[in-house]
Amino acid sequence: MSAPVEDFLAMLAAERGAAANTLAAYRRDLEGAEEVVGDLSAASPADLSRLGKAWADLAPSTVARKSSALRQFYGFCVDERLRKDDPSHTLPRPPARRPLPKILGHAEIERLFEQAEAEAQSDRTLAVRQLALLEMLYGSGLRATELVSLPISAVPRDAPFLTVMGKGGQARMVPVSKRARAALDRWVSLRDGESRFLFPSRKSHLTRIRLYQILKELAARAGLAPEKVSPHVLRHAFATHLLEGGADLRVLQTLLGHADIATTQIYTHVDSARLVALVNERHPLAERGT
């Protein structure tokens, strides 16, 4: 790797707080580009134009990601005066087609909770843990990794919030509903008191894979297709159903921990009918009729 690329990666880590996985992805993309064109810091627009052919068999989303990494690198080079020009205008620009999130309907969510609550009535430790996990995924919109790695110290004593460490080491406050707090209290009273993790497992915490398995097994017992249920699907349901209920997009962005509101805006596709009704009811000209 050329020195400017290493400096760029160091900047991502130090100034933007990029996570290890993010840095590894940037490194792979930039290394791959250097294998085609050589030293990126000295590459010309003509050199970069060769990447389009090298990436011809890749998915549009992959090409877009690689191009984005290079554009950010050249923006860094210009800012740091490592070069005067930005040659990235010759990089391919595939049309972005972001897939719509998979979500569960209200009735399906209700079936999941009915099953989890029925099983938790026995006060079996694993059944109570299952209900607490479900409440936090759907009630607070946590990512799988955020949830399983929660320390016990994150559980609030009086305030209805908990502190979550999100992507890139960014902390945010997440509200905890009354029912989620009740489920957490039940679980805390039963869990292993020696672990520093809220959801302990052996010497560490519950794994993301085990969380996936718990949800899919619960879905099957609730009469739902297991492939429809995952931690991310429940996070999407949390966001979509809040938006349907009138939540502001900026508030939703904060709750989900999105750095860019463009990421949050994907949820607006599910609420077009409500938005049309809102315009018809609230617009100043609405009362004038047709």
Q: What global pTM score does this model have?
A: 0.60
Instruction: State the CB neighbour count (10 A cutoff) for residue 150.
Output: 23
Task: List the domains of the chain with CATH numbers.
Answer: 3-90 (1.10.150.130), 106-275 (1.10.443.10)
Catalytic residues: 143, 167, 232, 235, 258, 267
List phi, psi (to 5°) of 67.
Answer: -65, -40
Place of tokens 């990601």: 65
Q: Which residues of the chain have pLDDT under 70?
A: 95-102, 159, 166, 168-169, 259-278, 282-283, 285-290
What local confidence, expressed as pLDDT, does residue 172 receive? Answer: 78
Q: Coil, helix or strand for 170? A: coil
Both structure tokens of 5: 């690329």
Place of tokens 């391919």: 92
Contact yes or no for 136/184 (Cβ under 8 A) = yes
What local confidence, expressed as pLDDT, does residue 61 receive? Answer: 82
Q: Which residues contact 213 (CB under 8 A, 6 or more apart)?
A: none
Indicate if the alpha-carbon torsion angle 111, 114, 119, 120 is positive or negative: positive
Distance CA 179, CA 176 (A): 8
What local confidence, expressed as pLDDT, does residue 27 receive? Answer: 94
What local confidence, expressed as pLDDT, does residue 285 receive? Answer: 65
The crossing angle, in degrees rounded to 10, of helices 125-140 and 178-190 is 150
Segment 214-238, tens digit of pLDDT: 999 999 999 999 988 999 889 888 8
Distance CA 214, CA 220 (A): 10
